Homo-oligomer: A and B are copies of this chain.
Amino acid sequence: MSRATVSRVVNGVRNVAPGIQQAVRDAVARTGYTPNQAARSLVTRRTGTVALVLSATGRAFAARVFSDPFFGRVVDGVLPVLRERTIQPVMLVAESEEARAQLVEYLRQGGADGALVVPLDADDPLPAMLVAADVPTVLFGRPHDSTRCGFVDLDNTAGARLAAEHLWATGRRRPATIAAPVSAPTAPERLDGFREAFAARGVTSVPVVRGRFSVDSGRRAMARLLKEHPGIDGVFAANDLMAQGACQYLREEGIAVPGSVAVVGFDDSVAARRAQPQLTTVRQPVERMAAAMARLLVEELTGGRPESDRQPHEPASKLFEPVLVVREST
């Protein structure tokens, strides 16, 4: 029997007589034969693999990533989409500049067919590097520079506006906000959206303290806010973890939530439900966004580009709308 026939059976291409098919399968099972991935991708120019890249500069890498439920949600969203298509998901991390270079090299050498990138900093150079290296790439969050690649994004401005309008509607007139770190991609939108919505209603001064997305930083931010602006009656935090921290601090200080101060979070992560009180928050459908991101990439990969008309790129993207979820903290 020829290699060709075996190949046909294994890959399920063309017709092979059932008898022969069975014979091949038996032989495969008997000998424990495994096709060599390297040889296969050498000719197919495919690895059947997609990289999920987590990019964060600076230290305390793991602490940043593995304490926030956010990335877990991304993983949860991406996995089913890839599994369903029998694409092997591999997670890559770029925790330093060297790591980033190594990673780009790995991908351009064909380590994976494409990359799903979750940048944790707005000025992350990785997306641009990948696009320059001709790696099919889809981002979580709009690319900040002119990098032309696919992405999914949330209308963060609208989300922040939702929070502001809700606080306004429930009678809060002395708002403050615990903003994201300046480096965060979503920081400006969530901050400005909140401020502008209040400005439009005549409230021009909104105290801002930056947090670092953690529960702890939320506590500290709340403490500072309260010290510098004792009259505050409504707080919008740029994620649920910080909102949770704010609530903890307020209650410890004997300040009623939502009685005296209302708190709105962002994301609607598990933390929002787990917090005491349960958080009113702006829902970001992370899992759905991540799934969409994976689908976008898969389409680009299988997009049947007939070799010739490979446009420089035609970045597809998808936008999501936030929704306000009202619970106990407002």
Give Cα A62–Cα B37 distance, bound, in whole angstroms.
29
User: Contact between A49 and B111 (Cβ–Cβ < 8 Å)?
Assistant: yes
- When all copies of this chain in the complex are counted, the total is 2
Interface string of A71-96 (1 = CB under 8 A from B): 11101100100010010111111011
**Contacting residue for A102 out of B67, B76, B86, B96, CB 8 A:** B86
Is A199 an interface residue when CB atoms closer than 8 A count as contact?
A: no
Residues A117-135 near B (CB distance < 8 A): none
Enumerate chain B residues within 8 angstroms of A51, measured Cβ to Cβ.
90
**Contacting residue for A69 out of B66, B88, B216, CB 8 A:** B66
User: Contact between B111 and A37 (Cβ–Cβ < 8 Å)?
Assistant: yes
Nearest B residue (CB) for A133: B34
Is chain A's binding surface mostly helix, strand, loop or mixed? helix
Is A182 an interface residue when CB atoms closer than 8 A count as contact?
A: no
Instruction: Tell me the count of chain A residues lying within 8 A, CB to CB, of chain B.
Output: 48
Enumerate chain B residues within 8 angstroms of A73, measured Cβ to Cβ.
62
User: Contact between A63 and B93 (Cβ–Cβ < 8 Å)?
Assistant: no
Is A1 an interface residue when CB atoms closer than 8 A count as contact?
A: no
Enumerate chain B residues within 8 angstroms of A76, measured Cβ to Cβ.
61-62
On whether A109 and B66 interact (CB within 8 A), knowing A86-B102, A102-B83, the answer reads no
